[in-house]
């Protein structure tokens, strides 16, 4: 996922270094403190992995996916619904669950910027199924 502060372009350099260190056997878990779009986490092979991020809506979104929530396709709704959810978030009226705000913030957004509409996104099954979100 494209995400503000994302490490997608750096992952090809960072992940081999991290993986080599993790493969030494000195660690019981891998902790990703700045999870964001999951660009590092999805490339780390370790039996126990913890994913953190300061954005509670993003974490709620990932947890919902892990719990089996079926994410709508970004092009399955129109601008009217998108703007309704965006306004609900701004008003803090709680009309939608946190995971849905997280989905709408990032998935149909352009270039990882929150609430900038774009109709394209794929979430890795690897992220959805194999991470402990904190």
- On the question of pLDDT at 93 being above 70, the answer is yes
Question: Distance from CA of residue 8 to its chain's centroid?
Answer: 12
71 in a structural domain = yes
∠ CA(40), CA(27), CA(67), 5° rounding?
Answer: 55
Percent of the chain with pLDDT over 70: 76
Helix, strand, or coil here: 117? strand
Q: How many domains does the chain have?
A: 1
3 in a structural domain = no
- In the chain, which ranges are E strands? 30-32, 49-51, 132-133
Provide the domain limits for residue 122: 11-133
∠ CA(36), CA(42), CA(46), 5° rounding?
Answer: 120
Say what the pLDDT of residue 7 is.
Answer: 79
Q: Count CB neighbours of 49 within 10 A.
A: 19
2 in a structural domain = no
69 in a structural domain = yes
Contact 102, 63 (CB under 8 A): no
**Rounded average pLDDT over 10-38:** 94
6 in a structural domain = no
Sheet (strand 132-133) strand order: 30-32, 49-51, 132-133
Q: What CA–CA distance (Å, rounded) separates 62 from 124?
A: 11
Say what the pLDDT of residue 98 is.
Answer: 97
100 in a structural domain = yes
Which backbone phi and psi does 23 adopt, to 5 degrees?
-70, -10
The larger pLDDT score, comparing residue 3 to residue 92, is at 92
1 in a structural domain = no
Task: Give this prediction's pTM.
Answer: 0.74
Which backbone phi and psi does 24 adopt, to 5 degrees?
-70, -20
122 in a structural domain = yes
pLDDT digit string, tens, across residues 28-83? 999 999 888 888 999 999 999 999 999 999 999 999 999 999 999 877 888 889 88
């Amino acid at each position: 996922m494209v995400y503000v502060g994302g490490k997608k372009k750096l992952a090809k350099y960072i992940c081999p270094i991290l993986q080599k260190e993790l493969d030494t056997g000195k660690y019981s878990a891998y902790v990703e403190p700045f999870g964001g779009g999951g660009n590092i986490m999805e490339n780390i092979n370790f039996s126990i992995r913890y994913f953190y991020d300061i954005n509670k809506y993003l974490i709620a979104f990932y947890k919902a996916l892990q719990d089996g929530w079926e994410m709508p396709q970004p092009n399955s709704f129109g601008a009217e619904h998108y703007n309704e959810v965006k306004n609900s978030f701004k008003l803090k009226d709680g009309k939608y669950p946190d995971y849905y705000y997280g989905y709408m913030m990032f998935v149909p957004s352009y270039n990882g910027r929150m609430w900038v509409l774009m109709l394209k996104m794929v979430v890795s099954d690897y992220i959805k199924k194999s991470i402990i979100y904190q």
